[in-house]
Chains A and B, each alone.
Chain A
Amino acid sequence: MPTPYARASQEAPPVTPSFLARVLRSAGPVTVILAVASLFMGTAAVAQVGTLRVAIEPPVQLDPAFASSDSEIAVLNSVYDYLIDIDAQNDIQPRLASDWTVSDDGLRYTFRLAEGVTFHDGSALRAQDVVWTFDRLRDPSLELPTSDLYANIADITTSGELEVTFTLHQTNPFFLYDLSDNHALIVKAGTADAGTNFNGTGPFRVDDYRVGTRMSLSANESYFIDGKPGVENLELIFFSDQVAAVDAIRGGQVDLVLRMPTPLFLTLQAEPGIEAVSVPTNAFDLVRLRADRPPGDDPRVQQALKLLTDRDAIIEAVTLGLGAPGKHSPIGPLYSQYFAEELEVPEPDVEQARQLLAEAGYEDGLELELHTPDTGDRPTLAVVLKDQWARGGVDIEVIVQPESVYYSDGGWLDVGLGITGWGSRPIPQYFLDVMVACDAVWNEAHWCDEEVDRLIEVAGTTLDDEARAEAYLEIQRILLERGPLIIPYFFPQFGAIRETFENFELKAFPGRSDLAAIQVR
């Protein structure tokens, strides 16, 4: 058993030889000197002690406007701050904005920024930085992933050094969630090289970044949130292989792993000294058929593939029983107030599927290429589907590609039949806006249903909760009944931390987990 780290605080334990020896063994001399020094300095806040080593995949894009993967967001969430944050319970929390007001018509949001916030270069955070950040994110000419999301913003103005007002074209019940989009980290106004200079206001500052290897960060001592960060040093160590990352935490080379495949989680559950954690999420694997060209443009083919898919068997085989059942819509059970609990997915029916295929002109069977990225459980899902669909005469050739290749150059939007992993988001509207709506940027199925479109519009603008829930229910009913989307499960996220640390809360989007909250036990 590893010796617990000592946490120097106002109620620090007495400095006895045995205590020192214990600390020396576990934390190394430098930490001890700092810990002891902090005792004499009598600082008011909790002093940061220890080094937290986190295994993440190598980040590629570290400009907040472009970053998207868990590892990239994990880095940026430590270096920068969001205006507002979302906690593990999916509730809105203040971060750089300490409080806000909404006008009666729901169109004007005014935020007051926290006082005394400084960037790592020493300059003070001003309302102008917030305006600059969001103006950049919504600028259509930059073609950023966020320009659609923020197209509804009419105007952003400042009133004084620390007050920002957003004016909307249309009411948006989820506007606060939109402001906490993964990309919306506040960057200093005028920053030209956001991907490399790391001048954030966040809990950690970057000391050293070795591309592809590791990033060393140290605590931002003037961080504006009391008690954070909890550790003195943060080492982000890059592992492109999740199996290696899990081996590293088992071997004690890292303290925290943010993401791992299901079987490795099951393995770690039995490992002493390690706490394996899981959270239900709204992340899902989507199997979608392009609906704008044969054979997917025939609703009978869409229906037949749904009937050939044995969802319960997939949950058992692919997610090892840990996935939450999907109903072919991106609105999962995590959104308990919107999820259509009572809707039932029809039992698989090979005969009916064969008949539908025959009616569509494929009585001799159908040959399809199924493209999938090589990450997560997606290749397994593809192989299981091959077996299930073969029963109905649908012969799939599985084509597995590295994730970075599959999602680059729009190849994933182009293929006829593909599997896409969609990360969890705090609100269901996100998926409908970017993936299901006719003109959605990532409408990868190229499917357009006017009724669904109208309902998405209603749900995304009404301030009436009941009307929204009604629209979501109707969308779920329609997606179950027709359309080329197959969503068999929502998968949980798995992480693991060594028991020498505490205060770790894994979030549904693991990259948004708050590393600054973690402390040595």
Chain B
Amino acid sequence: MATSLASSQAAQGKPSRRLRVLKSLFERRSAAFGTTVVLFFLLVALLGPLLAPYGANEQILSEARQPPSLQRPFGTDHIGRDVFSRVVLGARDIFVLAGVGTLLAVVAGTIIGLLASYLGGLTEELTFRFFDSVLAMPALLFALLLMGTFGPSRGNVLIVITVAYIPIVARVVRSVVLPVKTKDYVAAARMQGEPITRIIFREILPSVLPALAVESALRFSYAIFLVASLGFLGAGVQPPNPDWGLMISEARTFVSLTPWSLYFPAAAISLLVISVNLMADGLKSVLQGQA
């Protein structure tokens, strides 16, 4: 428990709080691993086109179905595309879709969650009963339903992630707001006649932030999975985009002929999802230790 003590002590001081959270994160071995891998993938996503020796849909038929080698570290697929390049270029896709989708869901979910649970009464009741009904359906099923209705496209994948995760984020926000809104300092602010936006964003939001940070990381890992699942089921990003889920789906029938074109994107998804989860776990214990 030395580390959590250290972090709670660290939280006493005000400046560069973020840096200290990061430092405590790296003091935990699994969290350090997770965070490093996530940062590594982020770097790959940013530098994608510089790292990839071939284009995502560049087909060299004479070099189709080659096993991994020095020139082709991840081999080539059934139509001669470089699997390494596709995995690298696909990283950006997944970060943009899962990342932006999560961000939108967190922002919208936080605002709705804060407002509805602060206002209480019928507004809260209606909002959250509606969210409950949405949550009754598994996220993937819900996503497939939306994609089926609006057709598969990148923009729609974003919308689906956002819509699917808003209720979850809002519920997490509500769980923090409910005990906080009865606190004296909130009552004091209200009696001083502060406007509702100020009360919500200045008085209540800061208490929500630690839980929100953890939730965002978790949502991000689920979003990666959702993007990959939609791609795999053919309802998400369309070919020939180097979406990891789509790559697995395309390589599936080739599993005994070109197993590498299946294993590498699958490994990339697993590694990234596990790492984001480890990071989220670490974040949770660091921030809870602070509280």
Name the B residues within 8 Å of A379 (CB-CB): 239, 250
Name the B residues within 8 Å of A317 (CB-CB): 59, 61, 64, 78-80
In residues 244-261 of chain B, which contact A (Cβ within 8 Å)? 250, 252-257
- How many residues in A have their beta carbons less than 8 Å from beta carbons of B? 25
Kindly state whether residue B4 has any CB partner on chain A within 8 Å.
Answer: no
Report the interface size class on chain B.
20 to 34
With A263-B78, A317-B59 as given contacts, are A400 and B238 in contact (CB-CB < 8 Å)?
A: yes
**Residue of A242, A383, A384, A397 contacting most chain B CB atoms (<10 Å):** A383
Is B252 touching A243 in the complex (CB atoms < 8 A)?
Answer: yes
Kindly state whether residue A414 has any CB partner on chain B within 8 Å.
Answer: no
Name the A residues within 8 Å of B257 (CB-CB): 263, 266-267
Instruction: Give the residue name and chain of the A residue nearest to B240 (CB).
Output: A383
Is B234 touching A313 in the complex (CB atoms < 8 A)?
Answer: no
Is B239 touching A382 in the complex (CB atoms < 8 A)?
Answer: yes
Chain B 241-282, CB-CB to A under 8 Å as 1, else 0, gives 000000000101111110000000000000000000000000
With A263-B253, A317-B61, A317-B64 as given contacts, are A386 and B240 in contact (CB-CB < 8 Å)?
A: yes
With A317-B78, A387-B58 as given contacts, are A374 and B234 in contact (CB-CB < 8 Å)?
A: yes
A324–chain B nearest beta-carbon distance, Å = 18
Name the A residues within 8 Å of B207 (CB-CB): none
Q: How many angstroms between the C-alpha atoms of A379 and B252 in the bound complex?
A: 13
Q: How many angstroms between the C-alpha atoms of A383 and B247 in the bound complex?
A: 12
Q: How many angstroms between the C-alpha atoms of A322 and B59 in the bound complex?
A: 19
Name the B residues within 8 Å of A261 (CB-CB): 253
Name the B residues within 8 Å of A243 (CB-CB): 252-253
Name the A residues within 8 Å of B64 (CB-CB): 316-317
Q: How many angstroms between the C-alpha atoms of A63 and B235 in the bound complex?
A: 31
Instruction: Give the residue name and chain of the B residue nearest to A382 (CB).
Output: B239
Is B253 touching A386 in the complex (CB atoms < 8 A)?
Answer: no
Instruction: Give the residue name and chain of the B residue nearest to A242 (CB).
Output: B253
Name the B residues within 8 Å of A374 (CB-CB): 234
Q: How many angstroms between the C-alpha atoms of A386 and B241 in the bound complex?
A: 11
Q: How many angstroms between the C-alpha atoms of A491 and B3 in the bound complex?
A: 65
Is A400 touching B79 in the complex (CB atoms < 8 A)?
Answer: no
Partner of A402, one of B59, B234, B239, B250: B234
Instruction: Give the residue name and chain of the B residue nearest to A402 (CB).
Output: B234
Q: How many angstroms between the C-alpha atoms of A399 and B254 in the bound complex?
A: 22
Kindly state whether residue B290 has any CB partner on chain A within 8 Å.
Answer: no
Q: How many angstroms between the C-alpha atoms of A387 and B240 in the bound complex?
A: 9
Is B254 touching A380 in the complex (CB atoms < 8 A)?
Answer: no
Main SS class of interface, B: loop
Name the B residues within 8 Å of A34 (CB-CB): none
Is A397 touching B238 in the complex (CB atoms < 8 A)?
Answer: yes
Name the A residues within 8 Å of B8 (CB-CB): none
Name the A residues within 8 Å of B59 (CB-CB): 317, 384, 387
Chain A 317-328, CB-CB to B under 8 Å as 1, else 0, gives 110100000000
Kindly state whether residue B30 has any CB partner on chain A within 8 Å.
Answer: no
Is A398 touching B234 in the complex (CB atoms < 8 A)?
Answer: no
Kindly state whether residue B156 has any CB partner on chain A within 8 Å.
Answer: no
Is A380 touching B238 in the complex (CB atoms < 8 A)?
Answer: no
Kindly state whether residue B285 has any CB partner on chain A within 8 Å.
Answer: no
With A263-B78, A266-B257 as given contacts, are A383 and B234 in contact (CB-CB < 8 Å)?
A: no
B53–chain A nearest beta-carbon distance, Å = 17
Q: How many angstroms between the C-alpha atoms of A384 and B61 in the bound complex?
A: 10
Name the B residues within 8 Å of A386 (CB-CB): 57, 240
Q: How many angstroms between the C-alpha atoms of A264 and B240 in the bound complex?
A: 22
Q: How many angstroms between the C-alpha atoms of A125 and B254 in the bound complex?
A: 49
Name the A residues within 8 Å of B61 (CB-CB): 313, 316-317
Partner of A383, one of B57, B253, B255, B256: B57
Partner of A380, one of B79, B152, B255: B79
Instruction: Give the residue name and chain of the A residue nearest to B151 (CB).
Output: A399
B80–chain A nearest beta-carbon distance, Å = 7
Q: How many angstroms between the C-alpha atoms of A397 and B153 in the bound complex?
A: 11
Instruction: Give the residue name and chain of the B residue nearest to A310 (CB).
Output: B61
With A313-B61, A374-B234, A399-B238 as given contacts, are A384 and B253 in contact (CB-CB < 8 Å)?
A: no
Is A380 touching B78 in the complex (CB atoms < 8 A)?
Answer: yes
B156–chain A nearest beta-carbon distance, Å = 13
B56–chain A nearest beta-carbon distance, Å = 10
Is B254 touching A383 in the complex (CB atoms < 8 A)?
Answer: no
Q: How many angstroms between the C-alpha atoms of A374 and B257 in the bound complex?
A: 21
Name the A residues within 8 Å of B234 (CB-CB): 374, 400, 402
Q: How many angstroms between the C-alpha atoms of A398 and B64 in the bound complex?
A: 21
Q: How many angstroms between the C-alpha atoms of A261 and B256 in the bound complex?
A: 13
Name the B residues within 8 Å of A263 (CB-CB): 78, 253-254, 256-257
Q: How many angstroms between the C-alpha atoms of A267 and B256 in the bound complex?
A: 6
With A263-B78, A317-B79, A387-B59 as given contacts, are A398 and B239 in contact (CB-CB < 8 Å)?
A: yes
**Residue of B57, B64, B253, B256 contacting most chain A CB atoms (<10 Å):** B253
A354–chain B nearest beta-carbon distance, Å = 20
A232–chain B nearest beta-carbon distance, Å = 34
Q: How many angstroms between the C-alpha atoms of A444 and B112 in the bound complex?
A: 49
Is A400 touching B253 in the complex (CB atoms < 8 A)?
Answer: no
Name the A residues within 8 Å of B256 (CB-CB): 263, 266-267
With A263-B78, A384-B79 as given contacts, are A398 and B240 in contact (CB-CB < 8 Å)?
A: yes
Q: How many angstroms between the C-alpha atoms of A400 and B59 in the bound complex?
A: 20
A368–chain B nearest beta-carbon distance, Å = 14
In residues 201-251 of chain B, which contact A (Cβ within 8 Å)? 234, 238-240, 250
Residues on B facing A (Cβ under 8 Å) = 57-59, 61, 64, 78-80, 152, 234, 238-240, 250, 252-257
In the A-B complex, list the 10 residue pairs whose CB atoms are closest, starting with the nearest.
A267-B256, A383-B240, A317-B79, A263-B253, A387-B59, A263-B254, A261-B253, A383-B239, A263-B257, A317-B61
19 pairs from A and B in contact (CB 8 Å cutoff): A266-B257, A267-B255, A267-B257, A374-B234, A379-B250, A380-B78, A382-B239, A383-B79, A383-B239, A383-B240, A386-B57, A386-B240, A387-B240, A397-B238, A398-B238, A398-B240, A399-B152, A400-B152, A400-B238
Given contacts A263-B257, A267-B257, A397-B238, 17 further A-B contacts (CB under 8 A): A242-B253, A243-B253, A263-B254, A267-B255, A267-B256, A317-B59, A317-B61, A317-B79, A318-B79, A380-B250, A384-B59, A386-B240, A387-B57, A387-B58, A399-B152, A399-B238, A400-B238
